[in-house]
Amino acid sequence: MSTESANIDIGTPGNYDYGKVIHASLLFYEAQRSGKLPADNRIPWRGDSMLDDKGDNGEDLTGGYFDDLGINAADYRAFANKSIGYALGDTGRSFVVGVGVNPPTHEHHRASSCPDRPKVCDHSAFTSPLPNPQVLTGALVGGPDANDSYEDKRDDYVHNEVACDYNAGFQSANAGLLHLKLKGLL
């Protein structure tokens, strides 16, 4: 049996192997599987479970992931893929700075709105109508409103704010999609 879910050497602070970090994160999702597990199960402490699991109306809920609960996983995978495509600009506007089609250039981020040093960075830099002098590549902005309307305006923190928690979900979704693609499931 594999011991792949044991502690994984991901490098040292400042010198992490991010491929291994993503790999370790994906092992978490593999640990969420239920039903009869495959022979290549990489989680040694995880065995078959929920073999007789039934839904309220007698539906067979065995197999898949605990979060799947017998639903059509292919539909949700397609939805995730479509959602990431939307964020990257499939409809003509990316919501990720420096990436995709027509990306934001006025993200609500103080440091990226500052000119190159040694020029002074003050409130006039933040209120400038020009694109941010520093490209905050990979930052996901808040995005459009409920009517799918979006203006690339730095002072609109609701729609143009960037934050680590936005990017955490975005990066996780991308890692999951990459995993599915490499497994031939997408």
Asked if the structure places residue 101 within a domain, the reply is: no
Asked if the structure places residue 108 within a domain, the reply is: no
Evaluated on CA atoms 104, 106, 111, 112, the torsion sign reads positive
164: its two tokens: 């680590």
pLDDT tens string 2-61: 445 456 676 766 676 767 767 766 666 676 667 777 888 777 777 777 777 777 788 776
3-state DSSP assignment of residue 21? helix
Asked if the structure places residue 158 within a domain, the reply is: no
**40 flagged as catalytic:** no
Asked if the structure places residue 44 within a domain, the reply is: yes
Catalytic residue among 59, 152, 155, 156: 152
> Domain span at residue 22?
1-71
Asked if the structure places residue 94 within a domain, the reply is: no
Q: What are 161's strand-pairing partners?
A: 108
Asked if the structure places residue 13 within a domain, the reply is: yes
DSSP letters for 99-112: SSSS--SS-B-TGG
| Count of domains for the chain | 1
How many C-beta neighbours within 10 Å does residue 123 have? 9
Asked if the structure places residue 28 within a domain, the reply is: yes
**152 flagged as catalytic:** yes
Q: What are 140's strand-pairing partners?
A: 96
pLDDT tens string 137-176: 888 999 999 999 999 999 999 999 998 888 888 888 888 8
Query: E strand or H helix at 20, and its extent?
Result: helix 18-30
Asked if the structure places residue 87 within a domain, the reply is: no
Taking the C-alpha atoms of residue 96 and residue 135, their distance in angstroms, rounded to an integer, is 11
Q: What are 15's strand-pairing partners?
A: 12
